[in-house]
Structure 1
Amino acid sequence: MDENLAVHQEMVTTPENQPRSDEPNPVGCNKYRWCLLVLFAFSLFATTLGLGIYSHLQKESQLKSAAPPCLSPACLKASVHFSVAMDPFSHPCDYFLFACGAGGSSTNNERQRIKGSSNEDNGELDKKRAVRTGGLVRMRREADVQGKSDGWLNKFPDRQTALLKAIKEILESSEEGVSMSAAEQKAKKFFKTCMDAESPEKVGSEPFLKLLQQLGGWAVSGEWNQTDFNTTLTLLMSQYSTFPFFSVYVGPDSGEEQNASNQHYIQIDEPHFQFPIDWNNTTHKSKASTRYLRPFYLSCGQYLALLGVPSFKTTQHCGLYISLSTTLAVATYPLRYRLSQKLLYHRITIQELQTLAPAIDWLACLQAMFQPLPISQSDIVLVHNLPYISHMSQTISQWRVKQEIMGTIPLHTYMIFSLLQTLIPALDSRFFQTMRNFSIVTGDTQEEMPRWRRCVQQTERGFDVLLSHAIRERHAQKEAEELIHDVYSSLKKKLTDLSWRDNKSSDFILNKIKSLNPRLSTKTNNLNHTELNHLYAEVVLKEEDFFSNYLQMLVLEQKSRCRLLSHGTRAEGALNYGTLGSLMAKDLLHLLLPDIHTQTNNPESESMCVWSHYLSVTKDPGQAGTFSLPPSKQQEVWVQYSALQVALDAYKISFTRHPTDSSLSGLSYIHLFLSSFTKVTCDADPYREFMPFEPSFLVTVLCSNSGFCPKLLTCLNTSQSSPHEMCLSRTLH
């Protein structure tokens, strides 16, 4: 168009083409009129272009300024929740450098000491891979970190806390004028009896003692009908979710392709011991931490006293209990060592397992646990420390011989103590305080978890399917699906934006991401109200008997394992663009990272830009270029910063779809987005050790370009400098 305009203008103004002034020339008049037409069109185009630019700037301004405040009940409620949290832009230096604890967490302090390159621990790399693929390590953050609320440290709530609070609101919702299903009524009744702190105090240890009588008595009390070892073990595993000698759960095989199938397997691992275990890196041996054995012995005696056992029996039974526990513990290995020795995800049939560990009746135990599912000798199970399982079997066989000689029953006592640990949440506060006191002795400095949180967790254990259904109904599944679609679209833009070494690599990654089908959940057979009522039809709860209700919850938890084994993964809920958006993008980028790292230069260059920015505001001038990052930390910085960019771009996409959305607390859209992002950065993260600084600092880098944030995030320290280079991708422009 511009070239044609130039040609036409040249045709009009070239001297040899001009007509003589003393004679009329119709051709010249036509050319003159054409020139005016072209000039008019050009001015119209310029005006339109100007209006377009103005409109674009207005939209950008809308992103940075607040719309009229939303005054709906839901918005007012959200505003109250937001006002409780500290505004991340009010104290940028303190907040973005020490976001996960007052004055900085120990984790953050360790990050501050990074100097030069360091050799990567292959064990740690494998550990992260195991967490990502197999879910072997269950990392749950049990503390929020700001101020105090309900006696619980509470800064920006992490994902689990946010979800638990949402479930709490469902369980506490008023029944008036609301049609509830029978299943939902049962969940609310369970939660209500759990919150009744006075009921367990009235009955003391009596419920547990009655249960022991139903199980055949207890050798410590002198009344025991000599039940068979494997019979007792099978009963504890199947009915009381108690695993004294080994743990059993359900999960996928990390060696299988994640999208190949949803098949889950029975997994067998070390048990959870009640005392700390020391590991010797030189001898590669474990042992019970000797400095905690005396407190452990004292707590054992306190439990026996609460159960009415005479004090003269304490020495013998607690001594044998500790001796057996420490004997089993010597064959445990930390995760890093098990990874290095390839002791995880060992595939073996139940029949082969029976040969290697004959003291346990494996088929009977597993059949009882997963009934009515058919379990046979040829079924595959995954074992995560076969040497321990073999050692455990040998130990049990040896102690069965010892007990015949000594005339005591240490194996049965050991199992009953394990059952007691399982049931402590349903007993009176003296049992819980005994457990808490020992935890404090072993170094647990966290404040006691508020009762509402414990009760929500207990309710979720038994009513997981129902609560997942309730969360989906109440928290906008359609909007969550839109979020996922936006994140995928933004991710594709980010991948296109990378500097690929060749078109083949670029096409491979783009086709890979395009082949994925973004959806909220892999579970498509969600149950309706009738099916949910049928699922919980056999549950009968009592008004003021939490102990009895707790036992039923343990049975429900076991049924949940059966469903997981037969149907695959559970569905997850959704949050928002700042939290769920960045988490989704981060997980996807981690999956694609091996190909991205080998086929592009972006991770290294962009992460070093971010790292330079961090050094410029935390180190003295002149030192900013003296600290480097090892490759694994470079990659993680790039992944987490790119995830933030992708999530923000997805949020902007959403804003164009819903331009009339109102604001909360008078804050701009970008302000709200960045605040929600910072709330998730203190959450448990399997890649946390690879970040050289708090992830919330990435907001500071993003805001170094004032066009994206409501205001700059700068510190008052005049000695700090800021790099001229902005670490931004074209995705955000």
Structure 2
Amino acid sequence: MGTAWTQQRSREEWSHRKTMMGWGLLSVLLLGLTVVFSVLLFYTFYSCGPRPCERPVCLALMANYLMTGNASALPCIDFFSFVCGNLTSGWANESRNVLEILKEENEHRLQRMLEASVSWPPDSAEEKTVRFYKACMDTDAIEVSGAEPLLQVIEELGGWRISGNWTPPDFNHTLKLLMSQYGSFPFFKAYLGPQPSPPHTPVIQIEEPEFQMPFRPDQKNYTQILRAYVSYLEQLGTLLGGDQKVVLEHAYLSITITSNLLMVANPLVQEKTEDKLIQETTIAQLQEMAPSIDWLSCLQAVFSVMTLSPSQPIIVHDLDYIKGMSQVIEQKANYRDYLQSHMILGLVSTLIPALDSHFQNAQRNLSQKLQELAGWSPISLSIPRWKKCIKETETFFKPTLGAMFVQETFSRDSQDVATQLFSEIQNAMSRHLKRLHWMDEGSQREVQIKLSQLKVEMGAPEEILKPDPTKQDYQDINFGSSYLQTVLSCSRSLHERTMRGFLGPPYRHRWKVFPWDVKAYYSMPDNVAVFPAGLLQPPFFHPSYPSSVNFGAAGSVMARELMHIFNQYLVPEGCPACDIPTLNGELLCLQKHYESISLPTGNIFNSSHTLLENAADIGALVIAMQAYKKWLQKHKGETILPSLGLSPYQLFYQSYAKVMCGSPASKDAQDLHSPPIVRIHGPLSNIPTFARHFHCPRGTPMNPSNRCQLWLSA
């Protein structure tokens, strides 16, 4: 047996070994847990990070980007070519852009809708819309009808001496019929329009007509133009059965009347402004100043939904023309047959789109001859029939056609996502206001109020998105035995609906575009931002796209329209309380920044002329990126497009540039936007995060040494 010390030592050693074994097991356990945690952490990051979007719409977008972009271009040197190179390579001598391509796609969508084999309820708005389009497309029936439908119209007007069988009608009676039943205004145009100043109540307005003869006696090449126009009128008269000698006589007199009217019309280059030309008066006063027209009778016929009196207030645009017009008619008062022929020839020209190919060829030949005499480059006038018929259908059935387009292409989900996207952009701009170091607090508050009171209309006007089930449109439209009779019935119906619209609810913003258009806009007087469904389509927007695409493309478009709120503060003396030296310095910096951008040979632009739009482009990019960053902080599950190798931020900038893709060819000098390559390189090279995400070395074109701070960099 050992001693007590030995036994004690053995117990201590055993205890020590047990302790060491425990620490070893603990270390192994900790190591295992670390490995497991690392695997879980890796899996978590992988699963929460950007995942490829495999949906068909994303794969289609990926294919679009691969097809239109030029992967061999270096994004830090030429991002325009990197994004748009293959798309614009075939546009060297054309002026095109991606929005025009989208517009053409929307036209084809309309065509497919109108030609689809869908059984609409009889006499429904949709059925009449489709029926009208098909009547327009039935060229065989139009050719068979020939001039007969138009001869019936002339007979209803009392006939004319060109036909050899007529009864001299009262001048004002014919004029009244032309304006009220046929929408033709040979001497003046009368319409309902909002007053220029608030509360914008509707008022009858009188102005010059749209002259059928677009030239003046003092114009260059007048003699050659005169011959071309005489030949045109001669063709119209003979197509309607007139004797050539009589037709020529009346054609020359008609041209003389138009020439006299043009001479009393104020030329567009005059020094007077439109505001000075507008005068408020009454029907009775106008009757004294221009007595050749029976104003009360004629206007009552045109505005039949109103009860007029001599004291009715009206607005006259250019009273001098109206007085001169009355004198021209007075001089021809004893030649009623010539006045009658003049008015009917004008009507025939307006109705040619609804007539057969003989009349249309005559008008086409005149247009080509006038282009030649004006020295313009030949313009192809060959437009597919389906496009013409869509235009005609748009004119008369806009609400229903818009509703059909929205139902087909802009789902409720699309509208909700687009509205939320706009809300993110609006909130980002509101937050960003405080960072504008040149803008005083008072001006910032003004902008904040505008933003808070701003109304956005997404997809289509409210009356299309939420139609009134009790409203029965088109019930007064009758489909006649000829296409011309159908067009005339539609024209009268449209006139009545337009007047009812003006005389209905109080003034509200009326869309300047169709729902299938691709142009967004901001109305400063009404503080309304409009984004039509036609714009919110692939490849610029889809509810299933990665958010980086929607924010970069559609989001930047939304931000750009809101940036126009700042226009009034950026012009000279527009913001007297602002830090003017700083503001002017930033605007000058912006101008120089754009002037430094390289352009293709032969392309020039005026950076001072496009300054406000350039400022809007850069500001839109800043706001859209701020909104996207905020969205990423609040949401998980961002996706990317497979096979592109682009991160979400890179995809954002690619999508931003894609909206700007356009022909590098010279652009219209009057365009307030810079050329496409400048609209891409200008904003992106001014944003540090672009250079960071594309790893652009310092000093490359897309990562310059100096940047402008008008909106601060994103």
TM-score (norm 2): 0.71
Gaps of 5+ in 2: 1-36, 516-531, 537-553
Tell me: higher relative CO, structure 1 or 2? Use CA pairs within 8 A at least 6 residues apart: 1
* Selected match of 1:561 from 498, 501, 510: 498
Aligned length: 603
The correspondence of residues 260-409 of structure 1 with structure 2, limited to 5 A, is: 261=199, 263-277=201-215, 289-335=222-268, 337=270, 339-340=272-273, 342-401=275-334, 403=335, 409=337
Give 2:672's aligned residue.
691
CA shift in 2, pair 1:319/1:646, >3 Å: farther
CA shift for structure 1 position 554? 1.1
TM-score (norm 1): 0.69
CA shift in 2, pair 1:522/1:93, >3 Å: closer
Query: What root-mean-square deviation, in Å, do the aligned CA atoms of Structure 1 and Structure 2 show?
Result: 4.8
Give 2:391's aligned residue.
457
Please state whether the residue corresponding to 2:675 is helix, strand or coil.
coil
Please state whether the residue corresponding to 2:596 is helix, strand or coil.
helix
Specify the structure having the higher radius of gyration (Cα): 2
Confirm or deny: 8 A CA contact 2:149 2:482 kept in the other structure. Answer: no
| Percent of aligned positions that are identical | 26
User: Partners in 1 of 2:293 and 2:89 — Cα distance?
Assistant: 45
* Selected match of 1:638 from 610, 615, 621: 615
The correspondence of residues 100-499 of structure 1 with structure 2, limited to 5 A, is: 102-103=91-92, 145-146=95-96, 156-157=99-100, 164-175=107-118, 182-254=124-196, 256-257=197-198, 261=199, 263-277=201-215, 289-335=222-268, 337=270, 339-340=272-273, 342-401=275-334, 403=335, 409-443=337-371, 445-448=378-381, 449-474=383-408, 475-476=410-411, 477-499=415-437
User: Partners in 2 of 1:678 and 1:627 — Cα distance?
Assistant: 17
* Selected match of 1:531 from 455, 470, 474: 470
User: Partners in 2 of 1:692 and 1:469 — Cα distance?
Assistant: 32
Please state whether the residue corresponding to 2:379 is helix, strand or coil.
coil
Deviation larger for 193-202 or 371-380: 371-380
CA shift for structure 1 position 721? 9.5
CA shift in 2, pair 1:707/1:660, >3 Å: same
Q: Which amino acid aligns with 1:531?
A: T
Give 2:682's aligned residue.
701
User: Partners in 1 of 2:45 and 2:267 — Cα distance?
Assistant: 59
Give 1:500's aligned residue.
438
Confirm or deny: 8 A CA contact 1:252 1:265 kept in the other structure. Answer: yes
Deviation larger for 334-343 or 362-371: 334-343
CA shift in 2, pair 1:191/1:620, >3 Å: closer
Q: Which amino acid aligns with 1:265?
A: V
CA shift in 2, pair 1:216/1:464, >3 Å: same
Confirm or deny: 8 A CA contact 1:244 1:271 kept in the other structure. Answer: yes
User: Partners in 2 of 1:309 and 1:188 — Cα distance?
Assistant: 37
Q: Which amino acid aligns with 1:365?
A: C
User: Partners in 2 of 1:337 and 1:629 — Cα distance?
Assistant: 28
CA shift in 2, pair 1:276/1:181, >3 Å: closer
User: Partners in 2 of 1:159 and 1:344 — Cα distance?
Assistant: 40
Please state whether the residue corresponding to 1:536 is helix, strand or coil.
coil
CA shift for structure 1 position 337? 2.7
User: Partners in 2 of 1:664 and 1:360 — Cα distance?
Assistant: 71
Confirm or deny: 8 A CA contact 1:487 1:581 kept in the other structure. Answer: yes
Confirm or deny: 8 A CA contact 1:343 1:384 kept in the other structure. Answer: no
User: Partners in 1 of 2:361 and 2:451 — Cα distance?
Assistant: 51
CA shift for structure 1 position 616? 2.6
Whether 1:674 aligns to 2:607 is no
Confirm or deny: 8 A CA contact 2:660 2:676 kept in the other structure. Answer: no
CA shift for structure 1 position 336? 5.0
The correspondence of residues 60-79 of structure 1 with structure 2, limited to 5 A, is: 67-71=52-56
User: Partners in 2 of 1:495 and 1:526 — Cα distance?
Assistant: 33
Gaps of 5+ in 1: 1-46, 106-144, 147-153, 281-285
Confirm or deny: 8 A CA contact 2:208 2:321 kept in the other structure. Answer: yes
Please state whether the residue corresponding to 1:157 is helix, strand or coil.
helix
User: Partners in 1 of 2:134 and 2:423 — Cα distance?
Assistant: 39
